[in-house]
């Protein structure tokens, strides 16, 4: 753990002179700052590898550089172990209500298509795969090894992971963002930006679509529009069924992420309450999935 993230951000060798440093709110896997260096502003992300969450900084850096080259993300101007510096984007981070708007959803879908299609063309060096079912199995093993209070839930959760993976079946592989919180989308008034590549990796497009839907609390009609926009046609029953499974996977991932954070994170945050909230959302998604199968 980096002992003094602010001092680390302030002391980076890329600055031309004394800088002004302001802490950004949030940040579960990084400590983030806005730094003013003369007339220019930058975002600095301070953080080490977090193997328990499969966050590896070499991968984040490579994905961020490729995403800039693909025209999706701000330029990376400096990188060193534990620190990533990007140009600041003046704009508004989206909210869940923004994502489902009829004028916004097509813009987001086009951004996702470009992520899935174009980022791999610019990616250099080793790259990770974000296979969501492996992620879930690894979290389950982490909980077991850490004597989590949730160990008793693991047999049932592991059985569900197998069901969801079978439900997905064969899939296209794309380069996914895999953490599509509305706050990772910025509208500068002219275009959208996609930021924060901690979990970037090759995956199924349905995970990004389901992750966007669950993180933005989209309703069934908005979800149908999301699938139609991405695939260019009204989704049939098999696609809808796979999507329902991936909604469950997205919410199970968030639940297990929080369960793992309960026993490993040093951040001052009420993880048990967050676990309870996400677990309730997962149970709702599972009930919807089961009901659709009848």
Question: Which ranges constitute the DSSP H helices of the chain?
Answer: 5-10, 57-69, 96-99, 105-122, 132-145, 154-168, 205-215, 220-231, 237-264, 271-292
Domains in the chain and their CATH numbers?
5-87 (3.30.200.20), 92-292 (3.90.1200.10)
Report pTM. 0.95
The Cα–Cα gap between 184 and 180 comes to 6
The Cα–Cα gap between 255 and 281 comes to 9
Q: What is the mean pLDDT of each run of 10 residues along the chain (294 residues)?
A: 88 94 87 96 96 96 98 97 96 96 97 98 96 98 97 97 96 97 97 97 98 97 97 95 97 97 89 97 97 70
The Cα–Cα gap between 138 and 144 comes to 10
The Cα–Cα gap between 89 and 57 comes to 21
Q: What's the pLDDT score for residue 27?
A: 76
Q: What's the pLDDT score for residue 2?
A: 76
Q: By the 8 A CB rule, do 94 and 23 touch?
A: no
The Cα–Cα gap between 247 and 132 comes to 11
Q: What's the pLDDT score for residue 267?
A: 82
Q: What's the pLDDT score for residue 268?
A: 81
Q: What's the pLDDT score for residue 294?
A: 54
| Edge-to-edge strands, sheet with 83-87 | 20-23, 31-37, 40-46, 83-87, 76-80
Give the burial string for 49-63 (b: 16+ CB within 10 Å, else e): ebebbbbbbebbbbb
């Amino acid at each position: 753990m980096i002992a003094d993230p602010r001092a680390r951000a302030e002391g980076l060798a890329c600055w031309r002179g004394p800088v002004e440093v302001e802490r950004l709110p949030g940040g579960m896997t990084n400590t983030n700052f806005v730094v003013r260096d003369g007339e220019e502003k930058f975002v600095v992300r301070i953080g080490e590898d977090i193997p328990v969450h499969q966050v590896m900084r070499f991968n984040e850096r490579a994905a961020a550089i490729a995403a800039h080259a693909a025209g999706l993300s701000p330029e990376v101007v400096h990188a060193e172990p534990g620190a990533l510096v990007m140009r600041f984007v003046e704009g508004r981070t989206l909210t869940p209500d923004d994502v489902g708007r009829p004028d916004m959803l097509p813009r987001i879908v086009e951004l996702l298509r470009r992520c899935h299609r174009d980022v791999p063309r610019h990616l250099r060096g080793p790259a990770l795969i974000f296979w969501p079912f492996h992620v879930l199995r690894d979290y389950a093993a982490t909980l077991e090894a850490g004597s989590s209070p949730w160990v008793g839930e693991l047999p049932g959760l592991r059985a569900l992971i197998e069901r969801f993976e079978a439900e997905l079946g064969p899939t296209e592989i794309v380069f996914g963002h895999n953490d599509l919180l509305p706050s990772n989308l910025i509208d500068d008034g002219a275009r959208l930006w996609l930021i924060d590549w901690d979990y970037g990796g090759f995956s199924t497009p349905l995970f990004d679509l389901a992750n966007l839907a669950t993180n933005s609390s989209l309703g069934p009609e908005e979800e149908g529009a999301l699938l139609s926009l991405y695939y260019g046609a009204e989704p049939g029953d098999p696609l809808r069924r796979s999507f329902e499974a991936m909604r469950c996977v997205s919410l199970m991932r968030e639940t297990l992420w929080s369960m793992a954070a309960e026993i490993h994170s040093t951040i001052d945050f009420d993880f048990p309450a967050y676990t309870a909230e996400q677990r309730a959302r997962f149970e709702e998604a599972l009930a919807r999935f089961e009901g659709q199968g009848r």
